[in-house]
Structure 1
Amino acid sequence: MVSMIPPPSMTASRHIAIREAWLAQHAEAILEPDLPIIDPHHHIWDHADQRYLLPEFLADAGTGHDIRASVFIQCSSQYDMTEPPERRPLGETRFMTRVAEAAETATTRACAGIVGLVDLTLGDRVVPLLEEHVAIAGGRFRGVRNRTAWDAAPNIRSNLESPPPGPLPLPAFREGARRLAAMGLTLDVWAYHPQLAQVLAVARAVPEVTLIVNHCGGPIGLSPYRRADVFAAWRASVTALAGCPNVMMKLGGLAMDVGGYAFHQQPMPPSSIILAEAWRPAIETCIEAFGAERCMFESNFPVDKGMCSYPVLWNAFKRLATAASASERTALFSGTAARVYRLSV
């Protein structure tokens, strides 16, 4: 019998293509189904080769875990291409506000927080742009993420567009971060592990901004990097970042291609036990360094859906938090996200 499951492939935006039939081969009972969760990092988009809009997210969020609310993170979705470049991301915030309004009566208050894009190197133009995003979002706009993940190796990519090596080291970026902090907004940063020294420099230069490191600080698992060498350097950088009280850590994003785990290349999708054991060194290092009150589990869907399903992902996180106290578990799964993004559980 010919298999109806397509082989693994990459989308045009350098994400592992989602194969629902492959994911459906493995199902698990939901662990701790009554544990409240805020998913602080997911995307919504309608690409030519992948559709992941509100119905798709709510379908994933409704698979058994108690997902109370979520935070949308910028992803170049629904930009207004009739505007000048610096104003185009306003279209994303406008679109996501409509999505959030549509989800207000759903079991999961999807996109209750919105993190958009404003180029923080724009100088005086940063503030009026931020004010527009805040006004459009109707009380939901929580912060900004710029395109910052970069590596010299051409195969290390996780974005639709490959940004230049900046803007993290630029003085203008730090000035923009100060303006962000003055408005009570947060700064999400997605960077690979060789860039964490730059992230640290921003955190120290702008101690008034709440800086949220995405995806465990981006430990790369692909050539030319070797996992053993990467872990030692990454751990040292994570420990240094934890010394800045204004820095938070998102636990997740490890099922991206750049992480190097390659579960998507196996005949069967991974179980939560397999994921937990693979990710334990990274997750436990982050929690040990930052403490539960400064860490939050994240789905990074639909990007991580190329390697694992939503219920299995959150089961893996729950396994990884088994040794945590009740208060620590609350922080990891909802409390830190609620405090940092100003959301109710």
Structure 2
Amino acid sequence: MTRIDAHHHLWDLSAIEYPWLNAQGVERFFGNPTPIQRNYLLDEFSADAAAHGFGKSVHIQVGAADAWDEAQWVQSVADATPQWPMMQVVFSDLTAPDLEAQLDQFQTLSTVRGVRQIIGRAPGEDAQTGTNDLLQSQAFLNGLKLAGARGLSFDLQLIPELMPQMGKIVAQASDTKIALCHAGSPHDRSPAGLRAYALALKHLSELENVTCKLSGLGMFDHEWRVDTIKPVIEICLDQFGADRCMFGSNFPVDMLYSDYTKLAQSYFEIVPSDMQAAVFSEVAEAFYFG
């Protein structure tokens, strides 16, 4: 079984501009980005992942100044390393008046499988960015439907408080495959917070077109241990089932909290053995490579 890392990033700071990554002295919800303000390329990522049985991956857009430049660069990396199959999810503003033309262009690249437009990152940052307003946008819903009609999936990043409203939107775009990034970003890991998260998650887990990524759990738990992330993973496996859950490292962002070995071994310990083929390979294979 070739394992698949369904959510990671790469960047070459000499090739592509990432305004958020180049910002100096800016603390983010996921921590201080200083340690990752350097090139992070496929050779480093693949060496770490391959040591734990991974042999394919999915690159997720990561806030480049120009989404087309980033997509072309990722395509060039994939073309240069056919021994490491890699698909990508690109950024596209689903409310853009020229969305059709944008998607036409992206779909000339053989690695493009989906799009991502972040709805919510963290409560404090969302208040500043205004991305939550997409939930009120008919254009966003229309774009979500259009992506699905073109065979593109949508990577959904939001926080639990937005799940009830997002569930109503996703239900209207039932032909669009949705990948819920970072298990829905449960930022409150207290017992009460996890109960509220589990209730909110049902608004998405009850929709058959939604698949859950077990990824990015360190962003709101910088000192995480197996016992602190296990409840989140168990909630997701319980609600979605192993046939709608897939693993993602979120490296190099989650490199701020652990190395790849700790991350992989922790997930192998938490995910029951009879679910591992699905979570670490089969679901991502069908979702992104099928």
Range into which the TM-score falls when normalised by the shorter chain? 0.7 to 0.9
Query: Which residues in structure 2 correspond to 1:53-68 (within 5 Å)?
Result: 53-62=41-50, 64-68=51-55
The aligned residue for residue 38 of structure 2 is: 50
CA distance in 2, matches of 1:279, 1:128: 41
The aligned residue for residue 330 of structure 1 is: 277
What's the TM-score once normalised by structure 2's chain length? 0.86
* Residue 192 of structure 1: how far off its partner (Å): 1.2
Give aligned pairs, total: 268
* Residue 151 of structure 1: how far off its partner (Å): 4.7
* Residue 152 of structure 1: how far off its partner (Å): 4.6
Unaligned runs of 5+ in 1: 1-34, 80-87, 264-269
SS in 2 for 1:245: coil
* 1:36 counterpart = 2:14: no
* Residue 227 of structure 1: how far off its partner (Å): 2.2
Q: Which amino acid aligns with 2:96?
A: L
Compared CA separation, residues 60 and 168, structure 1 to 2 (3 A)? farther
The aligned residue for residue 92 of structure 1 is: 70
CA distance in 2, matches of 1:198, 1:301: 29
Compared CA separation, residues 198 and 44, structure 1 to 2 (3 A)? farther
The aligned residue for residue 81 of structure 2 is: 103
* 1:174 counterpart = 2:141: yes
Q: Is the 8 A contact 2:121 2:157 kept in 1?
A: no
Q: Which amino acid aligns with 2:119?
A: T
* 1:142 counterpart = 2:113: yes
CA distance in 1, matches of 2:263, 2:121: 26
CA distance in 2, matches of 1:318, 1:169: 39
Residues 304-339 of structure 1, C-alpha deviation per residue, up to 9 Å, x if partnerless?
A: 1101111111111110123x42xx321110100000
Q: Higher helix proportion, which one?
A: 2
* Alpha-carbon RMSD: 2.0
* Residue 218 of structure 1: how far off its partner (Å): 0.7
* Residue 250 of structure 1: how far off its partner (Å): 0.3
The aligned residue for residue 266 of structure 2 is: 316
Unaligned runs of 5+ in 2: 14-20, 23-36
CA distance in 1, matches of 2:242, 2:131: 34
SS in 1 for 2:6: strand
Identity %: 29
Residues 207-241 of structure 1, C-alpha deviation per residue, up to 9 Å, x if partnerless?
A: 111111110111113xxxx7233211110111231
The aligned residue for residue 222 of structure 2 is: 262
What's the TM-score once normalised by structure 1's chain length? 0.73
Larger Rg computed on CA atoms: 1
CA distance in 2, matches of 1:276, 1:163: 34
Compared CA separation, residues 170 and 96, structure 1 to 2 (3 A)? same
Q: Is the 8 A contact 1:115 1:141 kept in 2?
A: yes
The aligned residue for residue 203 of structure 2 is: 240
SS in 2 for 1:167: helix
SS in 2 for 1:166: helix
The aligned residue for residue 15 of structure 1 is: none
SS in 2 for 1:93: helix
Q: Is the 8 A contact 1:150 1:162 kept in 2?
A: no
